[in-house]
């Protein structure tokens, strides 16, 4: 499992933009900047849609004021779902990042198998990444939501 002080694993994501699907690397996302990355088990799910993502939407300006260059929401969904969810949540200041096959979450050691309920998903977590290095990491126990909340992460930046 990934730890504070580790480098973010190299990965390439497919991101849906106005001009189509583009490939974005972890270097593009994390180098030469400070990023808050939070992961949710699934787009459009209750806690994720009612509390987790909305907290970051509401507090985005406060993160930026504390020197955060980018806020990323990660889920094991496809890029089309992540774009639609971001639009539905007015997440204009948040990068909605799809880990379509869950391989990035697996590389972090933060994937979980929910079986027939939903298959491979992200464990709920949040981290601060500075120039590619993980400088803060909060991992939620099963069925919990507190440590990875925007309110808590704001105290760590």
Note the pLDDT of residue 106.
Answer: 94
Note the pLDDT of residue 18.
Answer: 83
Note the pLDDT of residue 15.
Answer: 87
Note the pLDDT of residue 117.
Answer: 65
Note the pLDDT of residue 118.
Answer: 66
Per-residue pLDDT tens digits for 11-70 = 999 888 888 889 999 999 999 999 999 999 988 887 888 889 999 999 999 999 999 999
Per-residue pLDDT tens digits for 102-152 = 999 999 999 877 666 666 678 999 999 999 999 999 999 988 899 999 999
Q: Are 133 and 41 in contact (CB under 8 A)?
A: no
Rounded CA gap, 86 and 91, in Å?
Answer: 5
CATH topology of domain 12-154: Glutaredoxin (3.40.30)
Note the pLDDT of residue 43.
Answer: 85
Active site residues: 48
Cβ burial 63-87 (10 Å sphere, 16+ → b, else e): beeeebebbbbbbbbbbebbbbbbe
Give the total residue count for the chain.
157
Note the pLDDT of residue 47.
Answer: 83
Note the pLDDT of residue 44.
Answer: 86
- Residue spans of the domains in the chain: they are 12-154
Note the pLDDT of residue 84.
Answer: 93
């Amino acid at each position: 499992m990934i730890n504070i002080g580790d480098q973010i694993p190299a990965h390439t994501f497919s991101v849906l933009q106005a001009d189509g699907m583009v490939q974005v690397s972890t270097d593009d996302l994390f180098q030469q900047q400070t990023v808050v990355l939070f992961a949710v088990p699934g787009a459009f799910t209750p806690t994720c849609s009612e509390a987790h993502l909305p907290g970051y939407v509401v507090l985005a300006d406060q993160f930026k004021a504390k020197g955060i260059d980018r806020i990323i929401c990660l889920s094991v969904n496809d890029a089309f779902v992540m774009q639609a969810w971001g639009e539905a949540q007015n997440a204009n200041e948040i990068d909605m990042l799809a880990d379509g096959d869950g391989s990035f979450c697996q590389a972090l050691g933060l994937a979980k198998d929910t079986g027939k309920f939903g298959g491979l998903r992200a464990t709920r977590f949040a981290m601060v990444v500075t120039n590619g290095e993980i400088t803060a990491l909060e991992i939620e126990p099963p069925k919990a939501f507190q440590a990875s909340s925007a309110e808590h992460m704001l105290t760590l930046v």
